[in-house]
Each structure stands twice: as structure tokens, then as C-alpha cells.
């Protein structure tokens, strides 16, 4: 199944809108029932309105009623990891989840949300 997630993330990357940074990112989020939600980054001239691929996939899944995730793949030109904001959102919405980082040719790194955001905090730490 991971090869399908990689393909979905790489395909989503080609749909990204990044006229300012030229940094195209795609993501694929798998749910516990096997559904896959793609995401791509969408930039805006007002930079703070930009949304990353990882958050696009997560928010789309949540909007569809999904809440149980099993794997996230992030595709970039060179296999870099998610930004800090995405790391926090991934932790908040997914908890511990495997994350695969890929470049244009395939897998670069296998990691997890807790490795990307050590000593993370979330709603469980706020007494919610």
C-alpha cells in the first residue's frame, strides 16, 4: 500500500500552486479504513494565507469525517520533512503515526510524528 500512497503524494505534488517559492509539495494521508486523502501546497501573495500539503490532506480528511489515520507520505523535490506548523498539526490530529518522506524518485526517509516533534504537546496535555 505504501507504493500507492507514494504515487498519490507525488501526483498531488504536481497539482501544487507555488508561484512564489517554486517549492511544490504533495501529501497522501491514509485512514484506518484504507481511504487516501491527497493534499498539495497552495500559496498566496499574502504569505500567511498559504497552506501546506500536509495540512490540506489532514483538513480534507477531517472535513470528510475521518479521525483515524495510519500513514502519511510527503513528497517534495528533495525529500525534506514537514515544517514546524505541520508537525504540530500532524501530532494534534494523528498522534503517533508513521511518516514517509519521498523525493521525485522514491523513499528518502521513514520517520514518525514523535520523531519529527519530540516532546510534543496537544489537547491531552491541556486537560481537555
Give the chain's domains with CATH numbers. 2-118 (3.40.140.10)
pLDDT at 106: 84
Say which residues have a Cβ less than 8 Å from residue 60's Cβ, sequence separation at least 6: 37, 38, 39
Residue 24 reports pLDDT greater than 80: yes
Q: Is the pTM of this model over 0.75?
A: yes
Between CA 8 and CA 113 the distance in angstroms is: 20
Helix, strand, coil % (nearest 5) of the chain?
Answer: 35, 25, 40
Burial of 116 (0-12, 13-18, 19+ CB in 10 A): buried
Mean pLDDT of 18-46: 97
Nearest residue to 103 via CA among 72, 78, 81 = 78
DSSP 82: P
pLDDT tens sequence across 71-117:
999 999 999 999 999 999 999 999 999 999 999 998 789 999 999 99
Catalytic residue annotation: 54
Please check whether residue 26 is in contact with residue 53, taking contact to mean a CB–CB distance below 8 angstroms: yes
Between CA 64 and CA 60 the distance in angstroms is: 6
pLDDT at 127: 58
Nearest residue to 114 via CA among 95, 93, 89 = 95
Amino acid at each position: 500500500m505504501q507504493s500507492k500512497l507514494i504515487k498519490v503524494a507525488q501526483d498531488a505534488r504536481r497539482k501544487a500552486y507555488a508561484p512564489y517559492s517554486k517549492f511544490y509539495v504533495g501529501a497522501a494521508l491514509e485512514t484506518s479504513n484504507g481511504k487516501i486523502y491527497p493534499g498539495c501546497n497552495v500559496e498566496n501573495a499574502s504569505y500567511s494565507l498559504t497552506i501546506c500539503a500536509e495540512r490540506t490532506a489532514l483538513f480534507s480528511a477531517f472535513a470528510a469525517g475521518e479521525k483515524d489515520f495510519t500513514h502519511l507520505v510527503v513528497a517534495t523535490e528533495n525529500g525534506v520533512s514537514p515544517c514546524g506548523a505541520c508537525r504540530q498539526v500532524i501530532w494534534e490530529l494523528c498522534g503517533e503515526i508513521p511518516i514517509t518522506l519521498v523525493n521525485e524518485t522514491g523513499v528518502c526517509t521513514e520517520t514518525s510524528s514523535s520523531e519529527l516533534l519530540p516532546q510534543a504537546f496537544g489537547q491531552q496535555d491541556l486537560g481537555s
